[in-house]
Amino acid sequence: MAEGPFEFFRGTDFLFARAWPILQPRSPGPMVLTCGDLHLENFGAFFTDDGDVRFDINDFDEAAIIPCSIDLVRCSTSILLAAESWKLTPTQATGMVLTFLDSYSRAVASDTIKNPPPEAQPEMAPVRPLMDAVKRGSMQRVVQRHTKPRRDGLPRFRRSNPHFARAKSQTREAIIAALAANPATHDWQILAITRRYAGIGSLGLRRYEILVRKGDNGDLYITSMKESTPSVMESYADPTQPTFANPAERAAWAQRVLQGKPTAGLCVVNCESRSYRLRAVIPDENRSSLNRLQKDPARLRVAVALAGRLTARSHFRGCAVSGKDRATDLHNWTKSAALEAVLAAAVRFTDWVQHDYALFISAFEQGALRV
């Protein structure tokens, strides 16, 4: 988080939620199912259960039926903060946000007219290299990279990986019992379990990677098991939002709706009074990596436009889950002056984040945050 305002922003979605009533646009838009934590690093490539490779929004920990502008303001703010880190000019940064919002508006209008199938995606040319990297990989290569054989010949996770740490024996036993009791995972043969530390906003949540064999003679497979907690946006959620048994059920439900074709291996398991969302670890998990394009603003602008189209497609899918189809409301909202207010709100949030980041860095440098 100390690396820069953008990283700080990614790790403090709760501060964004706290400031929303003060800094939100005057017309926050219709209630639709949204990501809830949309920023440039929450887009990525992944496999689906049928072997397809998709590029889409890939983080749903904060998903809820909330005003659509929450996603738009948060992503626009992330563009302004990232552009500063990438040494782009203020004019270029503002142009990137306008490109994102214009692409979003056009896609909403197109979807309202054409009513595309849920699994449809826009043209993926701007991120084709990222998708090709996933296609070239395989789960077996992931297993080989992250594991090595024990003396008895069975694999175990490599302890040299700085993101891995030994899971307590009591926790391992609880995970094995929970997976055995779950209809979606009861036939898994658990070979190894490791604690995993990764991300910025996710640090502090319990997270594990599990090496399994599906069936008696199946291939080895690594699944990610991540703790789910209530959304930081729940204060702004529509009262008609469905009631879920736990936060993981909410996040998995949102992911199935908003991705169209969700990540492979998506399911939910309860363990030690906590709920977890499981998904496959993809061969070359990579996020949007838009920082690779920072020296080529023209290509970066094209990729940001794609992010706008993907966000629109996600929101379009999220319009039909709150008791009535709100696609027309979303279309009418985007055709008003609302998106200009989104840009203004993003500028306000950018200033707010810069102020909070300065306070954070001061405390960090003085040692106030040492544990």
> Could you read off the pLDDT of 52-67 as tens digits, one per residue?
889 999 999 999 999 9
Percentage above 90 pLDDT, the chain: 68
In a domain, 138, yes or no: no
Domain membership of residue 159 as a residue range:
152-280
The whole-number pLDDT of residue 310 equals 96
Domain end residue (candidates: 254, 280, 306): 280
Mean confidence (pLDDT) of the chain: 91
DSSP code for 263? B
pTM (predicted TM-score): 0.93
273-310 pLDDT, tens digit per residue, is 999 999 988 654 555 566 666 677 788 889 899 999 99
Q: List the one residue out of 133, 204, 122, 194 whose CA is nearest residue 165.
A: 194
Number of structural domains the chain divides into = 2
Q: Same domain, yes or no, for 220 and 104?
A: no
Q: pLDDT band at 137, cuts 50/70/90?
A: confident
Same domain, 257 and 214: yes
Give the per-residue pLDDT at 283.
Answer: 59
Instruction: With a cut of 80, say whether residue 315 has pLDDT above it.
Output: yes
Q: Locate tokens 């142009």: which residue?
A: 95
Residue 371 pLDDT exceeds 80: no
Whether 275 maps to a domain, the answer reads yes
The last residue of a domain, from among 228, 249, 280: 280
Which pLDDT score, from 0 to 100, does residue 132 have?
A: 80
198 and 297 co-located in one domain: no
Give the contacts of 338 (CB within 8 A, at least 6 positions apart): 25, 27, 29, 69
Name the least confident of 136-150, 225-239, 254-268. 136-150
Q: How confident is the model at residue 116 (pLDDT cuts 50, 70, 90)?
A: very high
pLDDT band at 21 (very low <50, low <70, confident <90, very high): very high
Q: Are residues 30 and 71 in the same domain?
A: yes
Whether 142 is covered by a domain: the verdict is no
Same domain, 215 and 255: yes
Give a yes or no: residue 93 inside a domain.
Answer: yes
Same domain? For 268 and 299 the reply is no
Tell me 351's DSSP state.
H
Residue 141 lies in a domain: no
The verdict on residue 53 lying in a domain is no
Query: Quick check: 57 and 258 in contact, CB under 8 A?
Result: yes
Do 26 and 86 lie in one domain? The reply is yes
In this prediction, residue 198 carries a pLDDT of 83
The answer on 330 and 210 residing in a single domain is no
Instruction: Read off the pLDDT of each residue in 246-271 and give the average, rounded to a whole number.
Output: 96
| pLDDT tens digits, one per residue of 234-252 | 999 999 899 999 999 999 9
Q: Are residues 15 and 65 in the same domain?
A: yes
Confidence of residue 145 (pLDDT cuts 50, 70, 90): confident
Residues 275 and 297 in one domain: no
The Cα angle at residue 50 between residues 49 and 56, in degrees rounded to 5: 65
Q: Residues 6 or more apart from 56 whose CB is under 8 A from it?
A: 43, 44, 46, 121, 259, 260, 310, 314
Angle value at C-alpha 164, between 137 and 16, nearest 5 degrees: 90
Sign of CA dihedral 225, 289, 18, 73: negative
- Is 143 contained in some domain? no
157 and 204 housed in the same domain: yes
Residue 220 domain-assigned?
yes
d(CA 60, CA 83): 24
Higher pLDDT, 108 or 130: 108
341 confidence band (pLDDT: 50, 70, 90) = very high
Q: Do 163 and 233 sit in the same domain of this protein?
A: yes
Q: Which of 257, 280, 303 is the last residue of a domain?
A: 280
Condensed to tens digits (0 to 9), the pLDDT of residues 65-103 reads 999 999 999 999 999 999 988 888 899 999 999 999 999
Across 257-276, average pLDDT: 95
